Amino acid sequence: MSLAAQSLTALRRQLTAGEISARDIVEDSIAQISARDGDIGAFLSHDPESALAEAEKADLTLPLGGLPIGIKDNINVLGQPCTCGSKFLQGAYTSPYDATVITKLRAAGAIPFGRANLDEFAMGSSTENSALQITQNPAAPGHIPGGSSGGSAAAVAAQLIPATLGSDTGGSIRQPASHCGVVGLKPSYGRVSRYGLVAFGSSLDQIGPLTQNVEDAALLLNAISGEDPRDSTSLDASVPDFTEGLDAGVTGMKLGLPKEYFTDGIDAGVRERVETAAKKLESQGAEIVEISLPHTEYAIATYYIIAPAEASSNLSRFDGVRYGNRTENPADMLELYQNSREAGFGSEVKRRIILGTYVLSSGYYDAYYRQAQKVRTLIRQDFEKAFEKVDAIITPVAPEPAPKIGAAAGDPLKHYLADIFTISANLAGNCGISVPLEPLNGLPVGLQILGPQLGEQTILKVGRAVEG
Question: For 264-290, how does the pLDDT look when each residue is reduced to its tens digit (9 = 90+)?
Answer: 889 999 999 999 999 999 999 999 999
Structural domain count of the chain: 1
What are 216-243's pLDDT values in tens digits? 999 999 999 999 999 999 999 999 999 9
Flag whether the pTM goes above 0.95.
yes
Task: Note down the domain range covering 278.
Answer: 1-468
Tell how far CA 337 is from the center of its chain: 31
* Cβ-based neighbours of 215, under 8 Å, separated by 6 or more: 7, 9, 243, 246, 464
* pLDDT above 70 coverage of the chain, percent: 100
In this structure, the number of other CB atoms found within 10 A of the CB of residue 66 comes to: 26
What are 81-90's pLDDT values in tens digits? 999 999 999 9
* pLDDT above 90 coverage of the chain, percent: 92
Cα-based distances in Å from 187 to 29, 324, 424: 27, 30, 14
To the nearest whole number, what is the mean pLDDT of the chain? 96
In this structure, the number of other CB atoms found within 10 A of the CB of residue 351 comes to: 14
The residue type of 442 is G
Report angle CA 52, 58, 63 to the nearest 5 degrees. Answer: 130
Q: Which of 152, 172, 340, 424 is catalytic?
A: 172
What's 97's domain CATH number? 3.90.1300.10
385 is catalytic: no
178 is catalytic: no
| 320 has a pLDDT exceeding 80 | yes
Reading across the β-sheet that carries 254-258, which strands appear in turn? Answer: 43-45, 111-116, 68-72, 163-168, 206-211, 183-186, 431-436, 446-451, 392-396, 254-258, 287-291
Separation of alpha carbons 261 and 256, rounded Å: 11
Q: Which of 86, 125, 130, 148 is catalytic?
A: 148
Concatenated DSSP letters for 408-445? TTT-HHHHHHTTTTTHHHHHHT-EEEEEE---BTTB--
Separation of alpha carbons 107 and 69, rounded Å: 13
- Report the SS3 class of residue 317: helix
172 is catalytic: yes
